[in-house]
Amino acid sequence: MVGILGGTFDPIHFGHLRPALDCIQSLGLHEIRFIPLNVAVHRPPPLAPPALRLAMLEAAIAGQTGFVADRREIERPGGSFTYHTLVSLRAELGRERPLCLLIGADAFAGFLGWHRPHDILELAHVIVMQRPRPPVPPDPGLRALWAQRISHDPGELAETPAGRILFQAVTQIDVSATRVRELVRQGWSPRYLLPDAVISIIESERLYR
């Protein structure tokens, strides 16, 4: 199984990395593709340019077995939509390999507002990374989808390429890219919130100042 974790990664930090490690270990994923977006569609644009966000990502995951930096969104012009990325991955990996899209609980709450959400579920499983006790989605449409697609067994995901929703408890680390950028802007150290290799790039390139 292949995990997919997208985001701005502006910059990548331990709040991305530790939950990803939890997922690769708990779900038995062969690898996780970290995919930095190019053009943000539903959020403010990243501050760091794509090449530097990719460089920070590569520095952060260097040496971690199963973590892979994937540049397909950065190299594709236009807005970064998850559906298009999954279509591209399917063309590369084939139709039968299980794909697991890793998203946070907040992102899942707005899942039905994504571009072609039902088609996304035809291309991948959705793994909702969150606290140990999964909440019942408050939105009636999402609650119905959740009830129809829910899985409680990671082994079940390996038996079919796509279509299930699984809640995965992960380590909760109270850190955000916004907080990291604000610390740097104020001239304070963001150490212990993200890898030292990423901090070195931020300092050498004078990012977020």
Q: What is the mean pLDDT of residues 121-126?
A: 98
Q: Which residue has the tokens 């559906």?
A: 83
Neighbours of 113 (CB within 10 A): 10
Question: How would residue 145 be classed by pLDDT, with cut points 50, 70 and 90?
Answer: confident
CA distance 168 to 105: 10
Note the pLDDT of residue 189: 96
CA distance 188 to 165: 40
Is the predicted pLDDT of residue 80 greater than 90, yes or no?
A: no
> 36-63 pLDDT, tens per residue?
998 877 778 899 999 999 999 999 999 9
Note the pLDDT of residue 79: 77
Question: 184 with 209: CB under 8 angstroms?
Answer: yes
User: For the whole prediction, is pTM greater than 0.75?
Assistant: yes
Note the pLDDT of residue 147: 84
Note the pLDDT of residue 131: 67
What six digits make up the tokens of 85?
A: 């990325």
Strand partners, 33: 4, 68
One-letter amino acid of 29 = L
Note the pLDDT of residue 137: 65
- Would you call 79 exposed, middle or buried from its count of C-beta atoms within 10 A (0-12, 13-18, 19+)? middle
Note the pLDDT of residue 22: 97
Is the predicted pLDDT of residue 140 greater than 90, yes or no?
A: no
Note the pLDDT of residue 135: 59
Is the predicted pLDDT of residue 133 greater than 70, yes or no?
A: no
Q: Which residue has the tokens 């299930």?
A: 164
DSSP annotation of 192 reads T
Note the pLDDT of residue 136: 60
